[in-house]
Structure 1
Amino acid sequence: MKPTTTRRSLLRAACALTAAGALPTARAQTQTDYKALVCVYLAGGCDGHNVLIPMETAAHAAYRLARGALALPDNSATLLPVNSPQGAFALHSGLQAIHPLWAQGQLAAVANVGPLAAPTTRAQILAGSVPLPSNLYSHSDQMVIAQAGNANGGGTGWGGRVADAVNSRNGSSRFPAAVSISGNALFATGAQVQSASLLPDNNLDMSGMAVWPDSAANARRQALNEILMLDGGVRLVQAANQVRRDAITLNGLLRSSGSATVNTVFPGTNLGRQLRQVARVIALRNTVGMRRQVFFCQLGGFDTHSAQSWTFWDLQRQLAEGLAAFHLAMQELGTANQVTSFTQSEFGRTLQPSGSGSDHGWGNHLLMLGGAVRGGQVYGRFPYPALGGADDANGRGALIPSTSLEQFGATLARWFGADATALATAFPNLAAFTPQDLGFMAA
């Protein structure tokens, strides 16, 4: 393999293909029923209090009082105003690159989302009368819970289960229905659909095949194919050979400039490179006959216990510039109305600062972007930013979620094509919450 590709990453990607079956031959027709979900996971616990800021007079005063040194100054350099039927809000200035999409109706937010075993109030928490998610405020546990999509975690992710629910729409195609561009991800792992893992800008090239002259390279490829086609009667060897054949096929597809060209310029950040890889795979949708796909990307660094102000601004800038480029790429490919990207994190952070940073929280504000998003609004109930108030779980401003992960995921899954039966399978605890459709996706 080339230096940017490890043997493990090749086998991981190809194993997912083998689990699904052989890759298809190219299809000429265009799939007009295509849809994709793109999760941008903000690892470490994104501080939603400074992503979406209340600007109504009383709420903003309470925000500034509780946030102390972490409160964003009330000026145009640090706050990007947005309007919603819920009232006046502002986005963090680092989100400048996607701020115009709010007014264009393609960017929205859901307030105070998090894992819940049941609708929960502060009084119930103080009385110990309601079950809570396992190990609140723990990075490792809450990362599993966030990607599993329920308060108890589990061995599959909600993105993978949603892919399971609609995978029949992909017909005979055996291209991966769930793809992580950031290593193995629980989010993209289903019960039937197995997640493939690709690296940004990686075409799964094999070492030793790029030799001169071309006839020598072709001879090597032919010899390898003949070896892989041998049937020695050992099932384990046959499975391994299938892994390699599928990887070679996928390599050819990823290297095909004619079918995976994306001209949009992406930022050179790690997230920008991940989202560019997603765009290149989406550009292959007609070639491989896919109609439904789920993707997972990740931006780390959000565990901001100190030096939060500068760090958080830079992370928001990376997020916004990556998403803005991705949205432009979807417009280039003609899929802007068919692809929805959204943020997720293991938890929010405390409203009350801890020195120059903040501590682990619970509920969080999430963003959704795409042509099918009913944008320009804040969905769900926005919490009043007061320490010790009705929305505070621990006296430090860790938000008690007013919207469950299941409600958020089910709204996206319904747009994706999951029916009521499939939703009940993908989100077993959904019936405990109302409404089950938050209304931020167009039909």
Structure 2
Amino acid sequence: MNDNKMLDGLLMNRRRWMQRSGATLAGALGATSLSALMPATAHAQAGGYRALVCLFLYGGNDGFNMVVPRDASRHAQYAGVRGTRLTLPRSSLMEMGADYGLHPAMSALAPVWADNGLAPVFNVGPLAVPLTKAQYRSRTRPQPENLFSHSDQQLLWEAGGPSVISRTGWGGRAAATISGNGQPVISVGGNGRFGLSALEVPLVLPGPGGTFGVQGLTGTWTPTVARRSALNALYAASHTNVMLNSFAAQQRGAFDMAENLGSLVAVQPDSSNGTAVVPGLALINAAFQPITSGNRINTGLGRQLYQIAKLVAARDTVQGNRKIFFAQQGGYDTHGDQVGASAEVGQHANLLKQLADAMACFYNAMQAIGMGNSVTLFTQSDFGRTFKPNNSSGTDHAWGNNQLVMGGAVNGGATYGAYPELVLGGPDDVGQHAWELHGRWIPTSSVDQYAATLLRWFGASEGQLNTVLPNLSNFTNRNLGFMSV
């Protein structure tokens, strides 16, 4: 058989393998990423390991009911616009110093704040250049494309670039540029632009208990063993055709990956062999106990962060000293019925409670396994929401938003960025005429500045930051200060 015919046969074999694999390994990873995840480098050591966890809140979180001013004068301004339905009473807020408080549904994060492991970053959003209200109104400086659109603003946050047509994400570019091994972003929250680089797609893993492997090629049944051995021999052969050799190497990488990560992915809180697969699993399980019932983590976000906690603990198996993870929580498009009988309960409160509970469990798990200073979690979201409520007890699409950063390396116990003036039609509101006074805040910090602060801690040089974040050179302040470097 000549090389071309053999290549045709291999490609057909690969298509059949991918079809049978469903949403497991073949559907989870693009071909260029297969060999990248398992580099032939030394195993990760705790002292040099650093990980970023991007937590995207899809739909546009109402960040100005997540972080609320507590001082009397500004809280009065806040209440005057938000009205009786959306206003959180000062006494209900989880205190973050004298000036600000978190939504009461996020009380699980109070010990994290007290431990200086949490920092809010105010009024962040996509910007090509710094922008004042006058410049926005006159269109004299470049502006982000398609403002107030879910899909477009999600892409701008995930891409960290000037245009919604950017093909790659800043997480993927950072992984390719900084990790040193071309390792893909690992996603437990599905596919997204954030993890794409020029040559890699994210490695998408299922939740705890999920199957990650090549279906039909695992187990000890004699025909299965024979088939696996035949394929291993086929992919181990050397050929003069460069494409054929590359394809075979990718297939070998896929088999190795399935063997290395399959058992790790499957571990749940009561897995009988879990402690043999995940170092420190008992400590992780104890940290996640508040949101665990039997062998199952109770919330989708909790399951994602539990999976990431296991991957950090088993970093020698996963390999690589610089890892970027992606998780997500949806449901934040609260146009109507954002609250229940009061702002302290209802749809938004339920989402924030799930968010805070899962984040607190993850923080405690990282502290318990000695990786608290090595892992930083940060939030992103489509956009903030209008400060002025709509007529349906909800809020609409806006721009600048508040975000949270959490971890042992965070300069916590403090706030960062500039909180907007809570005045409809004021200097931070895009609106000027009566019909457009809704409180859509112009960001005072850009996505690029936010990402650069995280990536500098991650290990990026100034030159690498310019490569990963194309707008960063337009901003004088390249470090928002919330990370210890």
Would you say same fold, with TM above 0.5?
yes
**TM-score (ref. length: structure 1):** 0.89
CA displacement at 1:57 relative to structure 2: 1.2
Change (3 A) 1:268 1:14: farther
- Displacement of 1:383 in angstroms is 0.9
Corresponding residue to 2:465 among 423, 430, 433: 423
Q: Report the 3-state secondary structure (helix = DSSP H, G, I; strand = E; otherwise coil) of the residue aligned with 1:271.
A: helix
Residue identity matched to 2:312: I
Q: Which residue of 1 aligns with 2:31?
A: 15
Counterpart contact for 1:305–1:358, Cα < 8 Å: yes
Q: Which has more radius of gyration?
A: 2
Hey, what does 1:116 align to over in structure 2?
Answer: 127
Q: What is the distance in 1 between the residues matched to 2:226 and 2:454?
A: 48
Identify the match of residue 312 of structure 1 among 348, 352, 376. 348
Bigger Cα displacement from structure 2, 399-408 vs 186-195: 186-195
Q: In the TM superposition, what whole-angstrom CA distance separates every residue of 1:18-64 from its partner, at most 9, and x where no partner exists?
A: 363x7346956735211011000000111111010011111101101
Alpha-carbon separation, structure 1, partners of 2:21 and 2:90: 46
Show the counterpart of 2:443. 401
Of residues 199, 218, 232 in structure 2, which corresponds to 1:225?
A: 232
Partner of 1:382: 419
The alpha-carbon deviation at position 284 of structure 1 amounts to 2.9
Query: Is 1:245–2:252 an aligned residue pair?
Result: yes
1:146 aligns with 2:183: no
SS in 2 for 1:53: strand
Per the alignment, residue 7 of structure 2 pairs with: none
- Is 1:273 aligned with 2:273? no
Q: How does 1:86-105 map to 2 (within 5 A)?
A: 88-105=99-116
Matched letter for residue 347 of structure 2: T
Q: 1:81 aligns with which of 78, 95, 101?
A: 95
Structure 2 equivalent of residue 260 of structure 1? 278
Name the residue aligned to 1:372. Answer: 409
Counterparts of 2:19 and 2:113, CA distance in 1: 41
In the other structure, the counterpart of 2:141 is 130
SS at match of 2:402: strand
Of 355-364 and 325-334, deviating more is 325-334
* Contact preservation (8 Å) 1:363, 1:399: yes
What secondary structure sits across from 2:389 in the alignment? strand
Quote the Cα distance in structure 2 between the aligned partners of 1:16 and 1:182.
20
CA distance in 1: counterparts of 2:440 and 2:249, whole angstroms:
49
Aligned partners of 2:94 and 2:101 also within 8 Å: yes
Deviation at 1:229, TM superposition (A): 3.3
In structure 2, distance between residues paired with 1:321 and 1:98: 7
CA contact (8 A) 2:24 2:212 kept: no
Answer yes or no: is the 8 Å Cα contact 1:167–1:177 preserved in 2. no
Query: Equivalent residue of 1:357, what SS?
Result: coil
Percent pairwise identity: 38
Within the candidate set 54, 62, 65, 1:47 is matched to 62
Equivalent residue number for residue 5 of structure 2: none
* Corresponding position of 2:375: 339
**What's the secondary structure of 1:48's corresponding residue?**
coil
Distance across 2 between alignment mates of 1:245 and 1:192: 19
- For residues 35 and 434 of structure 1, what CA distance do their matches in structure 2 show? 27
- Under a length normalisation based on structure 2, what TM-score does the superposition of the two structures give? 0.82
1:297 alignment counterpart: 327
Deviation for aligned residue 1:348: 0.5
Give yes or no for contact 1:31–1:290 (8 Å, CA) kept in 2. no
- Structure number with higher strand proportion: 1
CA shift in 2, pair 1:9/1:391, >3 Å? farther
192-201 or 47-56, which moves further after superposition?
Answer: 192-201
1:207 counterpart letter in structure 2: Q
- Measure, in 1, the Cα distance between the counterparts of 2:150 and 2:429: 20
Cα displacement (A) at 1:2:
13
How far apart, CA to CA, are the structure 2 residues paired with 1:205 and 1:144? 30
- In the TM superposition, what is the alpha-carbon distance from 1:196 to its structure 2 partner? 1.7
Pairwise CA distance, 1:246: 2.2
Q: Judge conservation of contact 1:108–1:377 (CA < 8 Å) in 2.
A: yes
Normalized per residue, the structure richer in helix is: 2
CA contact (8 A) 1:147 1:186 kept: yes
Unmatched 5+ stretches in structure 2: 1-16, 265-273, 289-296, 340-345, 432-436
Task: Tell me the amino acid that sits aligned with residue 191 of structure 2.
Answer: N
List gaps (5 residues or longer) in structure 1. Answer: none
Q: Is the contact between residue 44 and residue 316 of structure 2 (CA under 8 Å) also seen in structure 1?
A: yes
State how far apart, in whole Å, the 1-side matches of 2:388 and 2:137 are: 20
Question: Alpha carbons of 1:406 and 1:27: their partners in 2 closer, same or farther (altered >3 Å)?
Answer: closer
Which of 52, 57, 65 matches 1:37?
52
Distance, in Å, in 2 between the alignment partners of 1:271 and 1:321 is: 9
Distance, in Å, in 2 between the alignment partners of 1:436 and 1:247 is 39
2:205 is equivalent to residue 198 of structure 1: yes
Q: Quick check: 1:407–1:436 contact (8 Å CA) kept in 2?
A: yes
Go from structure 1 to structure 2 and tell me whether the alpha carbon gap of 1:28 and 1:81 turns closer, same or farther (over 3 Å shift): closer
Q: 8 Å contact 1:72–1:79 — kept in the other structure? A: no
Task: Give CA-to-partner distance per residue, 1:157-210, whole Å, 9 cap, x none.
Answer: 111222233122x5xxx7x34112222221112235542222222341333345
Q: Name the SS for the 2:216 alignment partner.
A: coil
Residue 75 to residue 380, structure 1, CA distance change in 2 (3 Å): closer
Q: Deviations along 1:350-387, whole A, 9 cap, x unmatched?
A: 00111211000000000000000000111011112121
In 2, Cα distance between the equivalents of 1:137 and 1:370?
30
Distance 2:20 2:51 in 1: 27
CA contact (8 A) 2:21 2:215 kept: no
Letter of the 2:163 counterpart: N
Q: For each residue in 1:100-126, what CA deviation from the matched residue of structure 2 results, as whole angstroms up to 9, or x when unmatched?
A: 211210000100000112211222223
Per the alignment, do residues 351 and 4 of structure 1 end up closer, same or farther by CA in structure 2, a change over 3 Å counting? farther
Q: Which amino acid aligns with 2:361?
A: A
Deviations 1:207-256 (A, max 9, x none): 33455x66665445334423443567776665555444323212222215
Is the contact made by 2:53 and 2:326 (CA closer than 8 Å) also made in structure 1? yes
Distance 1:11 1:2, change over 3 A: closer
Report the Cα distance in structure 2 between the residues aligned to 1:275 and 1:229, rounded to whole angstroms.
Answer: 37
**8 Å CA contact retained: 1:341, 1:369:** yes
Match of 1:6 in 2: 22
Paired residues of 2:86 and 2:393 also in contact (CA < 8 A): no
| Between 270-279 and 136-145, the greater mean CA deviation after superposition | 270-279
Answer with 395-404 or 4-13: which moved more: 4-13
Aligned residues: 432
SS of match in other structure, 1:367: strand
